[in-house]
A and B are shown apart, each in its own frame.
Chain A
Amino acid sequence: GAGVSQSPSNKVTEKGKDVELRCDPISGHTALYWYRQSLGQGLEFLIYFQGNSAPDKSGLPSDRFSAERTGGSVSTLTIQRTQQEDSAVYLCASSKTRDRVSEQYFGPGTRLTVT
């Protein structure tokens, strides 16, 4: 079946602009996760959704970051007033459930470059 998809695959934006990143999880997966991969910080967990709810937003790097999920499916990660330090690859993953044994499947990522 179809895997996790993300769009756009690449995004170049000017400092100060807002960007929106999209994730389509595997059908039927109730849990959805956002991560950031950068050379300096490695792979960082940002936020997760169980259904449409995000119980804990403490992993988001700043209040310029927000995320939502609608219909228990598609999720968007929004970064307002982008800064150069936001440049990274943003990864989305989904899993059948949120429990610790459930495998997470990753999308190809969105490479964000802030100039």
Chain B
Amino acid sequence: GNSVTQMEGPVTLSEEAFLTINCTYTATGYPSLFWYVQYPGEGLQLLLKATKADDKGSNKGFEATYRKETTSFHLEKGSVQVSDSAVYFCALKIGSGGGADGLTFGKGTHLIIQP
């Protein structure tokens, strides 16, 4: 089946530190890959996506590159801010049929940025 593995944390960093949140996946087909973010008290928001190998998704200073050879989609940011404190979810979606139509999510990584 399909699965997503990510570090759960909490991950605690100081402001302006470099961030990496690892995400690896297994998929029965060719997936699209997504990062969603959930800020405290808010709903899930799409952060970025990549739909084919070697694509790079980027948004709000965050980046992730679709690595088919290592089945990974690690999230990076060069300089984090306190406002980046949130829970980050890696997810995949493959084609239609057989119950595979929804997103498959990782467990989420709780990120805490200290001033």
Q: Which residues of A contact B (CB under 8 A)?
A: 31, 33, 35, 42-43, 45-48, 55-56, 58-59, 91, 93, 98-101, 103-109
Give chain A residues whose Cβ lies under 8 Å from the Cβ of B43: 91, 106-109
A105 touches B46 (CB 8 A): yes
Closest CB-CB distance, B99 to chain A, in whole Å?
5
A48 touches B102 (CB 8 A): yes
Closest CB-CB distance, A68 to chain B, in whole Å?
17
Q: Which residues of B contact A (CB under 8 A)?
A: 30-32, 34, 36, 42-46, 49, 51, 89, 91, 93-99, 101-108
B98 touches A56 (CB 8 A): yes
Secondary structure type dominating chain B contacts? loop
Partner of A104, one of B94, B96, B103, B108: B103
Partner of A101, one of B51, B89, B104: B51
B102 touches A35 (CB 8 A): yes
Give chain A residues whose Cβ lies under 8 Å from the Cβ of B46: 103-105
A59 touches B95 (CB 8 A): no
Partner of A100, one of B36, B44, B95: B95
Give chain A residues whose Cβ lies under 8 Å from the Cβ of B45: 106
Closest CB-CB distance, A76 to chain B, in whole Å?
18
11 residue pairs from A and B, CB less than 8 Å apart: A42-B105, A42-B107, A45-B103, A55-B96, A56-B97, A91-B44, A100-B96, A101-B32, A103-B34, A106-B44, A109-B43
A100 touches B105 (CB 8 A): no
Closest CB-CB distance, B108 to chain A, in whole Å?
7
Closest CB-CB distance, B89 to chain A, in whole Å?
7
Closest CB-CB distance, A20 to chain B, in whole Å?
20
